[in-house]
Chains A and B, each alone.
Chain A
């Protein structure tokens, strides 16, 4: 290889109980301790427990934000049903397959990649160590392949297995060392250059959203279990035992969002967490919260829909419902983290926005962001806090909860505040909050709610531009599509087509001026998104926020976006 290797992409796969995912986590943990970055996606069969599982990893010297185009190595702990994953584990003639001949021939679906096969007696190696397990042998093989430092490898094992006692640690250290030695003897290596050791964070997008919630000041969470969002609820439920606050497991999605209405009305910064089908159930109440001006954050970790769809796979098809789902006219704030690293700040900011604007804020994550584990530099910045306005302009009979102001925001004293009693109401209301059928009141209040969003200065949080700012080609993306778009842009730029990526964080209200500036000078703009109907494209077109001739590159999940696919689309369209 002429160029220095920057990353290595490895899959560890096996049937249920072999511990493939644990081995994958160990690789990520070891890479982090060796000064590398990394990203791990988990695959599992449809079974609730057991079945085949695979850890898809890439570790390298630079931050990694998307799945690789291909994998350098597949380590098969056994074969069983691993061939089912073949379409999701692209291999080619320069890839390696490491497997145990005892498990039989490499399945045709995998062997047809032409990858070089290295046979190692994985089970035998494991049994040569007292208490040794095949997944730790696989871990050792992967660590050796990537050339991870022995100290980092052992430290990762201690951190992961330490809780199970010294015997387990010794067994894992032994099995991993045996795996390393066996693989070293093959003379094959994809050694990474030395990493830049520093303290970093290793976490998933779901955990990162949870942290952002706590930093934002969330003290009340109500949610109903739904894949792939439940991990946020579970993480918060555990953390809040120490942190304080409360997670209520509601009887259904509708109860959850209504509990949030109640707690927020009481003054507590509040969050509910769901995925598409749950969001669909919540929309009536979201309309109520918009009308009654009740702050809350609604997290939607998007998955493939409609209906049950594919609950464990990513898609960006909930944008329409996030923007427009509710009866009547209900303008709202919709934000989306542009990477896992962006989740803490964007979630924290979402809490601030909800509180400051007294309105629901939708946070659109997706399965790909939520359930992927990554190593990131510790985010340096935290958004400046914004709080709820609670001090009334007047009390007693002169207090008007929905008094018309220039900003559209009016003070929201919490119950317990004397002489400010008001009724939150989904009925059209007057400034006093009293129900009113008057056209004048209705229009004034609708305008007020729109004005809140339009006059607010979202500043530089609207999004980011990556790559050459004067590049003639612009890829516009949100959520987990940003990562592969950035890799694609780097490749296109390197290949002679300077390409910028406009990563949109604020999806509503559309930051038209910022977007126009970010797209200025672009001769070609392509909106890249992972859904079938081009929801972001249509949204921005409808808002007249795209330049003339802007194109849509939309395709649905469950297959993850890979940079090569975006490059191919762009190049093909150019050729045509």
Chain B
């Protein structure tokens, strides 16, 4: 198998249509995820990488159905594990554009550990979370970002548990780009995605994406989203302070960092017989290399 090291095509003229697949979304009419899909398709066209050089990776949930709705390569895995799949893919194939998508339950609850470590590892990935503050596919249970008093069958009267701030966590864990967008502001969202993809390292986009079926009150987000209030900074502490003090409805890029990305794989000789030689012992012609006795964790020859 050849591992391609460089993109094989220069940016070219592409349109949203080039990324539209024939598969019909299963989403409810009015779902915010339609806006995110459209913004992503626009962004990919703008980025100019042809569909076969892009991979959209996801876990499980309504929003995780997205890969089949683009013409790119895709990986629709198990619940919560999109980020490790994307990490393995990007490390094996740095030439590809790897976009990870999913929802709040997938990314912040069952996949929460991977979220922390993907931010910390800082592989050059873009992670788009469509946050509707509810488990939609299983029909309306509270997620880690659901308000404490939101009433549901699974948690009558509310969970009583404080929702967490994904942006603050991403910043604390070391994400290199942190932003919040709104699903129905398609054009600015597309621009934000383009910027996130172009930014090196782990880029995190929390997108407020209303679930009008189980959270009809989220239709009000159209009015309550605070647009243009945020100025990007490269100061992580300042960005964190902004995130912790805002209403969780402000959109914009909060942070653009310059952390070094995950280190490149060593390039080696690829000859297993050179490696096997270390096991040789006895015989007349063989000389034991001087340095071999003290490496490899004290391996005795």
On A, residues with C-beta under 8 Å from B are: 22, 25-26, 28-29, 32-35, 155, 158-164, 197-203, 207, 211, 214-215, 217, 219-220, 222, 234-235, 238-246, 248, 250-252, 254-256, 258-270, 284-285, 287-288, 292, 373, 375, 378, 387-388, 390, 414-427, 434-435
Contacts and interface: CB of A to CB of B under 8 A. Distances in A.
A15 to B, nearest CB: 19
Interface string B51-86: 111110100100001011001111111100101111
Report, as a range, how many residues of chain B touch the other chain. 35 or more
B8 interface: yes
B76 A254 contact: no
A235 B298 CA distance: 11
A421 B71 contact: yes
Given A219-B3, A244-B267, A420 B52 contact: yes
19 contacts: A35-B282, A159-B301, A160-B301, A200-B281, A201-B279, A203-B279, A211-B275, A243-B271, A261-B77, A262-B87, A268-B93, A287-B78, A375-B281, A416-B53, A421-B52, A421-B74, A422-B74, A423-B68, A424-B77
Contacts of B293: 159-163
B1 A268 contact: yes
Given A162-B290, A266-B96, A423-B73, A258 B281 contact: no
B296 A235 contact: yes
Contact of A254 (B52, B71, B84): B84
B295 A419 contact: no
A211 B113 contact: no
Interface string B206-239: 0000000000000000000000000000000000
Given A258-B77, A415-B73, A243 B283 contact: no
Contacts of B280: 199-201, 378
Contacts of A287: 78
A266 to B, nearest CB: 4
Interface in B25-70: 50-55, 57, 60, 65, 67-68
B295 A200 contact: no
Contact of A416 (B52, B76, B272): B52
Given A201-B280, A234-B297, A434 B68 contact: yes
B286 A265 contact: no
A263 B91 contact: yes
B1 A416 contact: no
Nearest to A415: B73
A424 B117 CA distance: 24
Contact of B88 (A239, A262, A387, A434): A262
B156 interface: no
B114 to A, nearest CB: 6
B96 A415 contact: yes
Contact of B281 (A29, A254, A420, A425): A29
Interface in B244-301: 265-272, 274-276, 279-286, 288, 290-297, 299-301
Contact of A265 (B85, B269, B284, B285): B85
Contacts of B77: 258, 261, 285, 288, 292, 424, 426
A346 B54 CA distance: 36
B91 to A, nearest CB: 6
A242 B85 contact: no
A163 B89 CA distance: 40
Interface of B: 1-4, 8, 23, 50-55, 57, 60, 65, 67-68, 71-78, 81, 83-93, 95-96, 113-114, 116-117, 265-272, 274-276, 279-286, 288, 290-297, 299-301
A266 B88 contact: yes
Contacts of B296: 235, 238
B1 A388 contact: yes
A459 B15 CA distance: 52
A292 B86 CA distance: 16
A535 B117 CA distance: 37
Given A200-B283, A243-B270, 18 more contacts: A32-B281, A35-B282, A159-B288, A160-B300, A162-B288, A163-B293, A251-B84, A255-B81, A255-B114, A256-B84, A259-B84, A262-B57, A263-B93, A265-B89, A268-B3, A387-B1, A415-B89, A425-B76
Contacts of B51: 421
B301 A267 contact: no
Contact of B1 (A198, A246, A414, A435): A414
A163 B75 contact: no
Given A32-B281, A199-B283, A424-B74, A418 B50 contact: yes
B78 A285 contact: yes
**Residue among A162, A251, A266 with the most chain B CB within 10 A?**
A266
B272 A248 contact: no
Given A29-B281, A239-B275, A199 B286 contact: yes
A29 B282 CA distance: 9
**Residue among A214, A259, A417, A426 with the most chain B CB within 10 A?**
A259
Given A263-B92, A268-B3, A244 B85 contact: no
A243 B267 CA distance: 7
A281 B34 CA distance: 34
A372 B113 CA distance: 35
Given A242-B274, A255-B114, A415-B55, A32 B282 contact: yes
